[in-house]
């Protein structure tokens, strides 16, 4: 069978000891192979997935960038954070998401970066993670539902990828579209009225800000499926729903994207959605937040504690 003959191909020497051209060729091979979706190759695809998983692990843990990781922040408990999820494609119950992700296949995973740019690109998420040096950053995370956490993400600045595709002058927004795979995501069938796929967006200046990252890992490991494997955006000064999980498309556009939450309820989930303790949600206060692991209630900070870095973006003009 072809998969037996091909198997050694996927167990080539590790990335570190493979000459770069050979490594790239294998990537190219895996990409074409993986994305054909041919039934003949289904068994081989399983083996391929193992190899991708093994490759992914080599990138973690990444070195912490202390300039973006305040020493006074104490990490939330890993087990609690990775099993308390908002991921409606799987379940609306935060405790149940983790139990419903087993059918979700996250490698190979093409991501399209396109729209108003000179050099559009489709690249596998894991290849992306190998392309840009990964680093760890300890960020505050604040859900609009008034819970929060302190999370060590692994990833790279979104602006590095955007610079790579060379945005055109007309690009004013970045639109993020996340996966919609009904056979793999049992929550979709229960929320048929929602405007799937889950879509989010940022203004160009927000997307280009050094705090905005694409995360491929968390707690020193590849992202668990329930946290948005294989790649998600993280925008730490905005409510959590701006941070789309399991991205399939990043598009530069001149139009403000219609987001899922804004479409459903614009008063509750406006496009900008900066964390602001002074502006209550129509149904609850945003002044404080419950820490997800300890249950402690702490005061929410303007721009989630990132006012010094991003406040400038929101200064009203004269």
Ligand X SMILES: Nc1nc2c(c(=O)[nH]1)N[C@H]1C(S)=C(S)[C@@H](COP(=O)(O)O)O[C@H]1N2
List residues binding Mo ion (CB under 5 A). 86, 143, 240-241
269 binds ligand X (CB under 6 A): no
Longest dimension (CA), the chain: 71
Q: Nearest to residue 228, comparing CAs of 212, 216, 238, 211?
A: 216
76 binds ligand X (CB under 6 A): no
Q: Which helix (H) or strand (E) holds 25?
A: helix 20-36
289 binds ligand X (CB under 6 A): no
Q: Which is nearer to Mo ion, 156 or 241 (CB)?
A: 241
Least Å from the CB of residue 1 to ligand X: 37
212 binds ligand X (CB under 6 A): no
Neighbours of 59 (CB within 10 A): 18
Q: What own/partner pairs with CB < 8 Å and gap ≥ 24 does 267-272 have?
A: 268/144, 269/144, 269/239, 269/241, 271/201, 272/238
Beta strand residue intervals within the chain, DSSP E: 110-115, 121-124, 135-143, 147-157, 173-178, 199-203, 213-218, 221-222, 232-234, 247-253, 288-291, 297-299
139 binds, among ligand X, Mo ion, none (CB under 5 to 8 A by kind): none
Q: Which is nearer to ligand X, 126 or 227 (CB)?
A: 227
- Whether the CB-CB separation of 250 and 161 falls below 8 Å is answered with yes
Q: Which stretch binds ligand X (CB under 6 A): 28-36, 85-93, 201-209, 300-308?
A: 85-93
Least Å from the CB of residue 222 to ligand X: 13
Question: What are the angstrom distances between the C-alpha of 75 and each of 111, 147, 219, 224?
Answer: 30, 15, 9, 17
- Whether the CB-CB separation of 186 and 101 falls below 8 Å is answered with no
From 89, 124, 135, 276, residue interacting with ligand X (rule: CB under 6 A): 89
245 binds, among ligand X, Mo ion, none (CB under 5 to 8 A by kind): ligand X
198 binds ligand X (CB under 6 A): yes
Least Å from the CB of residue 115 to ligand X: 19
198 binds, among ligand X, Mo ion, none (CB under 5 to 8 A by kind): ligand X
107 binds ligand X (CB under 6 A): no
How many residues appear in the chain? Answer: 318
Contact mark string toward ligand X, 136..175, x via CB under 6 A: -------x--------------------------------
Distance, CA of 214 to CA of 155 (rounded, Å): 5
- Residues near ligand X (CB under 6 A): 85-89, 143, 178, 198, 227-228, 240-241, 243-246
């Amino acid at each position: 069978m072809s998969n037996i003959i091909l198997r050694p191909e996927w167990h080539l020497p590790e990335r570190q000891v493979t000459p770069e051209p050979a490594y790239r060729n294998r990537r190219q091979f895996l990409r074409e192979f993986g994305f054909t979706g041919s039934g003949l190759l289904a068994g081989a695809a399983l083996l391929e997935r193992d190899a991708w998983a093994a490759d992914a692990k080599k990138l973690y843990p990444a070195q912490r960038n202390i300039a973006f990781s305040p020493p006074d922040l104490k990490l939330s408990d890993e087990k609690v954070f990775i099993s308390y999820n908002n991921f409606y494609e799987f379940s609306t119950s935060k405790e149940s998401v983790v139990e419903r992700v087993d059918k979700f296949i996250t490698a190979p995973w093409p991501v399209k970066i396109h729209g108003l740019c000179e050099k559009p690109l489709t690249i596998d998420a894991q290849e992306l993670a190998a392309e840009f040096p990964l680093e760890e950053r300890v960020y505050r995370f604040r859900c609009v539902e008034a819970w929060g956490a302190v999370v060590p993400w692994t990833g790279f600045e979104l602006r590095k990828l955007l610079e790579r595709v060379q945005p055109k002058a007309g690009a004013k927004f970045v639109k993020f579209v996340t996966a919609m795979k009904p056979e793999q995501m049992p929550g979709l069938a229960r929320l048929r009225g929602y405007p799937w796929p889950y879509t989010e967006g940022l203004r160009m200046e927000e997307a280009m800000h050094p705090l905005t990252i694409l995360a491929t890992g968390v707690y020193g490991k590849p992202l668990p499926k329930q946290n948005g494997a294989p790649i998600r955006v993280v925008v730490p000064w905005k409510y959590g729903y701006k941070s789309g999980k399991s991205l399939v498309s990043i598009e530069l556009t001149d139009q403000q994207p219609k987001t899922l939450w804004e479409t459903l309820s614009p008063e509750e989930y406006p496009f900008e959605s900066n964390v602001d303790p002074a502006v209550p949600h129509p149904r609850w206060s945003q002044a404080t937040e419950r820490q997800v692991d300890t249950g402690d209630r702490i005061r929410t900070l303007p721009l989630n504690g990132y006012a010094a870095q991003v406040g400038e973006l929101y200064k009203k003009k004269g």
